[in-house]
Amino acid sequence: MQQTVHLQPAQAYQAPRYKVYQHRQIDKIEQLDKLPEHLRFEMKVVANVFPFRVNNFVIEELIDWHKVPDDPIFQLTFPQRGMLDDESYEQMAALLKRSHTQDEVIELANHIRHKLNPHPAGQMEKNVPQFQGKRVEGIQHKYKETVLFFPSQGQYCHAYCTFCFRWAQFVGKATRFNNNDAELLHSYLSTNKDVTDLLMTGGDPMVMRTVKLRKYLEALKEVRFDHIKTIRIGTKSLTFWPFRYVTDPDAKDLLALLKELVDAGKHVSIMAHINHKQELRSEITKEAIRLLRKTGVQIRTQAPLLNHINVDANMWSQMWQEQTQLGMVPYYMFIERDTGAKRYFEIPLYKTWEIFRDAYKNVSGVSRTVRGPSMSAGPGKVEISGVATIHGEKVFVLRFIQARNPDWVQQPFFAKYDEKATWLSDLQPAFGEKKFFWEDEYNSM
């Protein structure tokens, strides 16, 4: 006997309702006439030192203006008084109040920037590889299996994050165009067969038009790149300019390019920077996520823990859960790097660990793909695994989740517990040791 099963017809997918914005850039405090005068002056002082740039979508949909200045997305995109130390702030404020030339402002700004460790973690000296006898600008190769690539046309972002460790590359210099960099990338990758991962970063590579992205990525389908198995693209666009995937003129072509790479057997991962769950609330972002996932790419999420923005374990667990629900994979919680306005955003290490743990313990296993809290320091990515008391000594338990020497990975090591420490360089070895196990080797690299 045959049984008839009556299936309900599937609901047709209904695209969510969203407003389409024409991109408008806001990069002058004068454009913000609604803010109180004293706030605008403070922001103007700080904006002379740190880059500032935001767009109309972020302003109209992501910021809750009645919460300003405490709104997290406002803190994330607009320069804040506390980002400068008092002395630097007063110097710049005094200069702006008297008659001055633009050159004087630039000179003072450069003087202040110079004090702010513009190139952290030996990025300039240690990570740029030699190739055919020359330094290859635009490539960093720190960890054996992964090449970081900075396409020359992707060295800015839809909006600048106030905490960004790349702040120094956004100020001063005019963008250098290097039209051969796709070729350089391809020859570097094709001759380095140990490399399995390419990580496109910036700035934000998704500011580039699809035709340009294609110049870098399409070739990776060729046989000479069979060893490149994973392509990651780091971007803030998913929440700060989601139109990139939905309504921009070349959005469809971008999705097609990603699908081609997936179909050619690559694992393609969009590494989405998402600092606060408020960034996920717009319908257009949800539509962008849906369209991206349809191509077969994976979306992973990462963000640093930042004072004034996301010091809230509940928010983190809700954010990870929501990301998981939307089909994204939580990947990293970072510790704010030792550069730029760190003084404003930093959190003591013990506190970063408490927040991570409180957030992590409240999500199910499917969201516990996230790792951290992690410092991207000179020797590698160092995770604060815990705080413990061993033979009466209170210590931080640490481990490398990524290291310049792969043999250091996963070996626990210990530092004296210190409530003031905010970075690896503040830590001392525990148990009376003089050095951490990796220090001599690191210093000789």
CB 188 within 8 A of CB 147: yes
| 146 three-state secondary structure | strand
Could you tell me the CA-to-CA distances from 69 to 42, 63, 162, 278 in Å, in that order? 12, 10, 14, 15
At closest approach, how far in Å is the CB of 245 from ligand PLP? Answer: 23
Q: Does 148 bind ligand PLP (CB under 6 A)?
A: yes
Task: Decide which of ligand SF4, ligand PLP, none touches 140; Cβ closer than 5 to 8 Å per partner kind.
Answer: ligand PLP
**Token pair of 426, please?**
């503040």
Contact call for residue 400 and ligand SF4 (CB under 6 A) = no
Q: Is 52 in the site for ligand PLP (CB under 6 A)?
A: no
Q: Does 199 bind ligand PLP (CB under 6 A)?
A: yes
Burial class (CB in 10 A: 0-12, 13-18, 19+), 33: exposed
Q: How far apart are CA 20 and CA 237, in angstroms?
A: 15
Site for ligand SF4 in 159-188 (CB under 6 A): 160-161, 164, 166
Number of residues that bind ligand PLP (CB under 6 A): 9
| 146 interacts with, out of ligand PLP, ligand SF4, none, CB within 5 to 8 A per kind | ligand PLP
- Binding of ligand SF4 by 71 (CB under 6 A): no
Tokens for 288, please give them.
Answer: 């962008």
**Residues 127-166 interacting with ligand SF4 (rule: CB under 6 A):** 157, 160-161, 164, 166
The DSSP code sequence of 358-419 is HHHTTS-GGGTT-EEEEEE-SSEEEEEEEEEEETTEEEEEEEEEEESSGGGBT--EEEE--T
The residues in 196-255 that bind ligand SF4, with binding defined as CB under 6 A, are: 202-204, 236
Q: What is the DSSP letter of 175?
A: P
Residue 166 binding result from ligand SF4, ligand PLP, none, given CB thresholds of 5 to 8 Å by partner type = ligand SF4
CA–CA gap between residue 96 and residue 47 (Å, rounded): 12
By CB under 6 A, what part of segment 126-145 binds ligand PLP? Answer: 140, 142-143
310 binds ligand PLP (CB under 6 A): no
The least distance separating ligand SF4 from the CB of residue 184, rounded to whole angstroms, comes to 22
Tokens of 377: 């320091």
The answer to whether 161 touches 421, Cβ cutoff 8 Å, is: no
Is 275 or 321 the residue whose CB approaches ligand SF4 more closely? 275
Binds 236, which of ligand PLP, ligand SF4, none (CB < 5 to 8 A, cut-off by type)? Answer: ligand SF4
Contact of 242 with 198, CB cutoff 8 Å = no
Residue 95 or 139: the one with the smaller Cβ distance to ligand SF4 is: 139
Give the closest residue to 291 by CA, choosing from 316, 315, 256, 335: 256
Chain positions 393 to 412 lying near ligand PLP, rule: CB under 6 A, are: 402
203 contact choice in ligand SF4, ligand PLP, none (CB below 5 to 8 Å, kind-dependent): ligand SF4
Least distance from ligand SF4 to the Cβ atom of residue 237, Å: 8
Q: Which of residues 341-380 bind ligand PLP (CB under 6 A)?
A: 376
Beta strands in 179-274 (DSSP E): 197-200, 230-235, 267-273
Helix (H) or strand (E) holding 288: helix 283-294
Residue 333 as a binder of ligand PLP (CB under 6 A): the answer is: no
Which of the choices ligand PLP, ligand SF4, none does residue 142 contact, using the CB cut-off of 5 to 8 A by kind? ligand PLP
Enumerate binding residues for ligand PLP (CB under 6 A).
140, 142-143, 146, 148, 199, 376, 381, 402
Enumerate binding residues for ligand SF4 (CB under 6 A).
157, 160-161, 164, 166, 202-204, 236, 273
